[in-house]
Structure 1
């Protein structure tokens, strides 16, 4: 099939990566004493960190924010070109002709006459490698023998491929290395691997170069897992206490407790078979399962103990107990499994989320039932003995507890009997409870996943459309001052010229990753993420130059780029952007009437001020000028024309030709750019192109 990609895309190539939408973590390179500029910092990351980081297991993409990759920049002066009667296309042609890879061959390579003793590789000058090489490229040889070189018409420097983004850390120029998780991988392992790599590379850093981890989204996950493990231990302790208080014997308490590790370890053994991992949802399931897995063993122990009190030997008591309770134990396990297993078959993301939670509980309960039918009766026959009255402080406590529990039981039974006799009153009471439960339940906030303090949040700034990058940087200076004086903020990592919401690069956008202090330090001051965001938004509202707001990250890392709900509006009629913008505003107006939405915004900006270069094709063709040369000249002067490549630092970089900055500030500058007609005379582009201001 024929390629449908534009030639520029074919020449520069495309890359396809598979990753989640929001960063897993951000490493920031900076120079504490200011020895290195942002261009060096970014390209140190490109050369030394980018490729090794992409090979870390679990990392799907690496994106470097800040300065762009190195490029040889030829900044031409249109006035000088006009005086020397040279066009920008001539410069590009000279570079393409003299900056090439030139294989030469071999001396003595086969087939050769017999007796050849050596074979030599012949090397020839290849791609240009330094600024001086590019400065000495010959653009034109005059009839008098004089040579016009690139340095005569352009300023050559090792610059950047583009200048549209600037990175900063706490107000200091920096290079941001954002790592994105590979879908399906373990986030904690991936971040640990990335951090280990950074520490290994840090050992080779030059003097006055350092890095910090300004964002680590796995910290919240790790903290959550630690809290769940803590809850798991607390639940186990509570189960021990409750079982011991009610069974009132060390031997009788030991048997149900042994069911806990058996069931939990058994659940872990099933995880690899089902493709599960140890995460917050599966651990939550284990916390809940702790209270369930001891039930079956308690039933067996109590039945055996009852038979022993009736005069049977422990072995006979165990056999008789299993005849009595095997059916109920199996029934209980199947009922609990029937409650949780259907949750795993819920379609969509909801079922995917709670699948591990439900299956973990169901598997644990089934294993506990198997344990109650096998291990528990065997242990009962070996360990249980006729119960003796316990003496000492524990005996006093148990006797008091039994009396209190007996009174509570008698009261409960009496109340139940009264309600059974007064069935009409019971039905009315049940109805009242149901009504109040419905009323109070309807007043509770609902949502798919609750927003939690993840230890970081985002700030987006948007200036008026078409605002320059310098204006955006000035706004960032104000934002840095606000962040610096906001309690609870540890790092504020910004990218001028980029928006994570729309994932586009524009000069009038800026984005910040705000990392907060540790949870323990903030909890003492009541500085939760929501509190900091609320206070910060009040201060950000005072920034008149831009629309700035702070917002939470997605509740589940990797699902979306922000918290809340995202809608995608699609124009299936294929009309112009104005039609889509009109319907978007209609949708937003209707959505703002809903009380559930606190803030609504869209990344669609159809009315940005632009200039349309209208080429008079008839006039161009009448003068024997190709349309391609006109568009190439426009691109070269205004946007920078890619020419070819050069080699340095063991890598391949790009070469660009572009007009100096003072010749690209207003539309009238087009009159200073020239192309050559069929007669060889220079023609100003202003006679061929009309610059018309539009919105789009």
Structure 2
């Protein structure tokens, strides 16, 4: 016998347990710590710039060719592109969870290489960037000058030169971006009046700069072969690229006949300025340079944030005087706080389990022995996690909290059975009692371990978002269960044989009184089972009615992905009327920031003025703020309440539109909480028509009670000046069409000429007209182009401007022009209800040439629906097969499985009345309940079969006897488990929503499984065993 070997060799059993614990301790200190495992799809971002082009031109000439090439790349799930009127194009390609991001980047890059030749020359000139990145913002750091000694341009470029590259090399950082594109640029500010005076065009200036600001290869003196051998070889070096503003001012445009020169400084102002002037950063109302630090897909967030802060601390030692940094927005604060709360919950659960065990076992020795199984099993689990490449995250920690009540179960069964045998047979030795007890309970212990593993292990084969969450949870529990089963068969009986005593004195009065009441309860329970067995048909009908009610209860509980969490911060998105200036946006956002900072719960606000957070592009009428809050224990109001209050206060603001949103519960799935849906037009409609259709959708959606803050990012009403060119006149006047367009770009736009070198970097040389000539639509009168005969022709002779409207940026999703629709569930509704509602509204309001597509967390929720049911069915199926193999009967496992619906019923009931949802945590809890409810049933069925087959009792007597005999261990293990879950049920603070989600359903299920199901398991054993006996008799067999 397996257990007998260890009972007779207690030192051997102890050594094995110590080895398991030591390897676990090593694994514990080697495991990374993070909020979740890699649950976000890898992202490859493609970026390009077509300077001077409007949004739709960028989409047509840049985005579409790239999308055509990338579409269908291996493991791609979807792609979305944004083309803006700043000329920027950003294309994000999302891949299946688990895809290697490096390989995905190579695959995308290879596809792009094949179509680069089709892109406009200006795009090829600046290049197409392809890089892997994460969509999860890890931190927002700020660089600022406390004493104002450094202006924003100097601060930005100090970050670009000395900080960003170092941050990008930190392990785990996907990208580090200083917002604003304020890199140094040599700005050539042309004066059209002076150009006209000297009969010079922008083309002349561009040509002169290209000629005189260039690096040319020269050669070497004395290099072989030469006729006369030279003892030395000299490299010839020349000054090619210009470096200073003075050198650019002195570029010669034209040599005059009198020997004088026309230089750039004669027709333009030259300054070292900024590449862009359309952004302002703020930290608590003061100038700052925000740096967004993105987490690499699959990286350890906590460790990466720690390394980033260490890098900032290292770099700050070399900061010039008057420069400082601060990290006011850090998502890992919530992660660390959540993990600390779960660890605290772990110890609270441990204490409650000890109390329950003492109540039932009545002495300290019997209580301590099963508790030894906890550290051995938990520590051993860490070793298993390390071998499998898992991490310490909320999912594995939840599993370990739940494991406390599970891993003591097997040990409790062993100790309780040994204690019972010792009291029933006063003459038996403790060692013999241990051996006899293991003969009786070894099979049930193995069955319980196999059943629990049968529930958990098949889940590991489910792919995708839900599969990854349940895999982490289930495998952690399976490892702990396997180790606890091994400990119960080895260490626990050997310790009992040594340390248990027959009489340890009288327990405390309350403990004795509790057990007296429990003995009475056992008799009542036995009588109740006998009553039910005598009324078989009636209670089978009740069971069937119960199953119908269970289906109805399932329909009542709303579904969602994961519960939203108060993460200690929220986001604010601001949009002013179309074409509002940066100055107007600055005034609005500074006022908002000042008002929000008056709230005592707010600690820091980072402002991005002129930046559209959703499109990732610079837009002067948009902005965003990251609002950081005090720690959870230092405030009485949640982030949800604050967001709801601010949304109500600012909803009717006539000057601008603003939305306050919570971050997504799982960083990286979306930029904000709520849903993201694309309305794709497949019928060739213009963006104006798409806007009209989507506006109807948004209007209808905001009337639905399930939805709030429904909006679209598409706005085709930006004031624009439409340019019409008279091509006949262009040819009539002898003009070159390319010169016309390049002249426009170099005056009312920004023309990128070439580069200059400074501070070890290359920067752009940009040409624009001075501000006074770009401030009115009459500017074309003062801009001239040279014709073939040398005459100067004003642009307004061939061009006409008309006022109009159009989009400032356009989106495409999976190769179709689309409008992004965002929104949030209304208070009291779930994300699943919101998704169903917006999908229904889209079906009712959009025409047949539209389709809808999901992105972010909504995509995961929609695509993963049904995965939880598959996991549940797989769990039931494997439990059935394992028990069928063990009992060598096909019908008897049904007696065990009939307990499962009661657990599901209790779980749903508790979740429904607490106002929670059918989310991934709930579904994961159901998996656990399959195993736990089956475990209780196994204890009854195993003993009933033994009483009937081995002791010769009738099926009726065996059913009642087994129920009474196992009532105590069932209630004891169930109550210990329930008490271990109570800290999850009553959790508060960081991450409490997820702890409520998993704890509530499991407690409800276990209460039902240990109070209602235990009456029905003997009933179905009685029915099935009677049926089996009838079959055997019919076949002419003698039933044992």
Q: Normalising by structure 2, what TM-score?
A: 0.63
Q: Which residue of 1 aligns with 2:650?
A: 540
**Equivalent position to 1:385, from 500, 507, 511:** 500
* Partner SS state of residue 505, structure 1: strand
Distance 1:266 1:572, change over 3 A: farther
Indicate how the Cα distance of structure 1 residues 283 and 347 shifts in structure 2: closer, same or farther if over 3 A, else same.
Answer: same
Q: CA deviation at 1:535?
A: 2.3
Q: 1:104 aligns with which of 218, 223, 229?
A: 218
Q: Which has the larger share of helix?
A: 2
* C-alpha contact (below 8 Å) 2:366/2:500 kept by paired residues: no
C-alpha distance in structure 2 between counterparts of 1:650 and 1:183, whole Å: 31
Segment drifting more, 366-375 vs 20-29: 366-375
Range moving further from structure 2, 319-328 or 340-349: 340-349
* Structure-1 separation of matches of 2:482 and 2:562: 29
Write the mapping of 1:167-206 to structure 2, written as runs, cut at 5 A: 167-206=281-320
* Aligned pairs for 1:648-663 within 5 A: 648-663=758-773
Tell me, yes or no, if the aligned pair for 2:180 and 2:276 is still in contact at 8 Å. Answer: no
Q: Any conservation in 1 of the 2:155–2:289 contact (CA below 8 Å)?
A: yes
2: CA distance, partners of 1:459 / 1:424: 62
Partner SS for 1:570: strand
- TM-superposed CA distance for 1:273, in Å, is 4.0
**Offset at residue 53 of structure 1 (A):** 0.7
Q: Deviations over 1:167-222 (max 9, x none)?
A: 11111111001010111111111111111111111111111211111110111111
Pairwise CA RMSD: 2.5
Q: Aligned with 1:494: secondary structure?
A: strand
- How far did residue 5 of structure 1 move? 2.1
Match of 2:710 in 1: 600
Is the contact between residue 359 and residue 515 of structure 2 (CA under 8 Å) also seen in structure 1?
A: no
SS in 2 for 1:332: helix
Question: Which residue among 791, 805, 828 is the counterpart of 1:681?
Answer: 791
How far is the alpha carbon of 1:648 from its aligned partner? 0.9
- For the residue of structure 1 that corresponds to 2:803, the secondary structure is strand
Measured after TM superposition, the shift of residue 94 of structure 1 is 0.7
Shift of 1:575: 2.9
Q: What is residue 478 of structure 2 aligned with on the other side?
A: 362
Give CA deviations for 1:434-491 in whole Å, capped at 9, x if unaligned: 8998888766664221111101111111111122212111211221221222231111
> Does the CA contact (< 8 Å) of 1:135 and 1:156 recur in 2?
yes
On the 8 A contact 1:308/1:385 being kept in 2, the answer is no
> Which residue is 1:302 aligned to?
416
Q: How much does 1:515 deviate? A: 0.9
- The structural deviation recorded for 1:657 is 0.4
Query: Could you report, residue by residue, the CA deviation over 1:474-520 in whole angstroms, capped at 9, with x for unpaired residues?
Result: 21122122122223111111111112123332111111111111222
In the alignment, which of 251, 255, 264 is matched to residue 137 of structure 1? 251
CA distance in 2, matches of 1:357, 1:460: 36
In structure 2, the CA distance between the partners of 1:425 and 1:468, relative to structure 1 (3 Å rule), is same
Runs of 5+ in structure 1 lacking a partner? none
Q: CA deviation at 1:424?
A: 8.9
Q: What TM-score results when the alignment is normalised by the length of structure 1?
A: 0.93
Cα offset, 1:542, TM superposition = 5.5
- For 2:672 and 2:384, the matched residues in 1 are separated by 34
Report the CA distance between 1:395 and its aligned residue. 4.2
Q: For residue 738 of structure 2, what is the aligned residue in structure 1?
A: 628
Establish whether residue 638 from structure 1 lines up as the match of residue 752 from structure 2.
no
1:519 and 2:632 correspond: yes
Deviation at residue 420 of structure 1 after TM alignment: 6.0
Per-residue CA deviations over 1:345-394 (Å, capped at 9, x if unaligned) read 4554222223211221222212222222233233333x233321325xx5
Change (3 A) 1:322 1:418: closer
Relative to 1, partners in 2 of residues 1:629 and 1:360: Cα closer, same or farther, differing over 3 Å? same
User: Is the contact between residue 32 and residue 208 of structure 1 (CA under 8 Å) also seen in structure 2?
Assistant: yes
**Alignment correspondent of 2:133:** 19
Partners of 2:518 and 2:138 lie apart in 1 by: 53
1:442 and 1:489 mapped to 2: Cα distance?
40
Query: Deviations along 1:73-116, whole A, 9 cap, x unmatched?
Result: 01111111111111111111111111111333333334456763
Distance 1:567 1:303 in 2: 58
Q: Using the TM superposition, give the Cα deviation of residue 412 of structure 1 relative to its aligned residue in structure 2, in angstroms.
A: 4.5
What is the distance in 2 between the residues matched to 1:38 and 1:443?
56
1:388-467 mapped onto 2 (5 Å cutoff) = 388-391=503-506, 394-414=507-527, 446-467=559-580
Shift in CA distance, 49/658, structure 1 to aligned 2, threshold 3 Å: same
In structure 2, the partner of 1:695 is 805
User: How far apart are residue 67 of structure 1 and its match?
Assistant: 5.6
C-alpha separation in 2, matches of 1:99 and 1:89: 15
Q: CA deviation at 1:528?
A: 1.1
For residue 721 of structure 2, give the secondary structure of its aligned residue in structure 1: strand
**Structure 2, unaligned stretches of length 5 or more?**
1-113, 807-1040
- Cα pair 1:66 1:168 within 8 Å, conserved: no
Moved more, 445-454 or 20-29: 445-454
Residue 591 of structure 2 is matched in structure 1 by 478
Offset of 1:647 from its aligned partner? Answer: 0.9
* Aligned counterparts of 2:726 and 2:127: Cα–Cα separation in 1: 32
Which one is further off, 529-538 or 458-467?
529-538
**Are the counterparts in 2 of residues 494 and 512 from structure 1 also a CA contact under 8 Å?**
yes
Q: Deviations over 1:21-71 (max 9, x none)?
A: 241111001111111111111111100111111111111111111461110
Cα deviation code 1:213-247 (max 9, x no counterpart): 11101111111111011111111222222223322
Alignment partner of 1:668 out of 760, 778, 782: 778
C-alpha distance 467-287 of structure 1, shift in aligned 2 (>3 A): same
